[in-house]
């Protein structure tokens, strides 16, 4: 079932979202300062490409204040607009019964877009 839902997701916009995240990640990685943010954007690309069956879990090592500080910088740089976009699509998709599973994946992406540092993808 996850494979079927992932294929539908990819055809109807998931592939486009993942490509956008990968391009923005590569643009961020041009500078040394942007490398940590580019790596977090790659996490978003992985989940955006294959959301069904992937889980976002807290990382095993203590992330501490550095992850918190990086999350705050992430919010300022672009995390809040990304999260609001996923929130909007999630609400729109959850209006219909058929779109609920896809809306829930947008909510998962929204949480990751707000707090990418200190999270792992499984």
pLDDT tens, residue by residue, 1-18: 889 999 998 888 888 888
Using CA atoms, how far apart are residues 77 and 96, in angstroms rounded to an integer? 33
State the pLDDT at residue 33: 87
β-bridge partners, 120: 57
**Which distant-in-sequence residues (6+ apart) come within 8 Å of 67 by Cβ?**
117, 118
Q: Report yes or no: 50 and 16 within 8 Å, Cβ to Cβ.
A: no
Q: pLDDT of 15-67, one tens digit each? A: 888 888 899 889 889 988 888 888 888 888 988 889 998 888 887 665 667 77
Interval 62-101: pLDDT, tens = 566 777 888 888 888 888 888 898 899 999 999 989 999 9
Q: What is the pLDDT of residue 78?
A: 81
Query: Degrees (nearest 5) of the Cα angle 99, 101, 103?
Result: 65
Please tell me the predicted confidence (pLDDT) of residue 81. 87
Domain ranges of the chain: 2-121
Q: How far apart are CA 66 and CA 92, in angstroms?
A: 35
Query: Alpha-carbon distance 70 to 73, whole Å?
Result: 5
């Amino acid at each position: 079932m996850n494979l079927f839902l992932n294929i539908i997701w990819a055809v109807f916009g998931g592939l486009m979202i993942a490509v956008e995240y990968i391009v923005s990640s590569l643009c961020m990685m041009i500078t040394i300062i942007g490398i940590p943010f580019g790596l977090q954007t790659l996490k978003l690309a992985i989940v955006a490409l294959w959301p069904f069956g992937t889980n976002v879990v807290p990382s095993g090592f203590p992330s501490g204040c550095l992850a918190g500080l990086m999350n705050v910088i992430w919010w300022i740089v672009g995390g809040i607009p990304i999260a609001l976009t996923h929130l909007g699509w999630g609400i729109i998709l959850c209006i219909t019964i058929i779109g609920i599973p896809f809306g829930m994946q947008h909510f998962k992406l929204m949480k990751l877009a707000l707090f990418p540092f200190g999270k792992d993808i499984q």
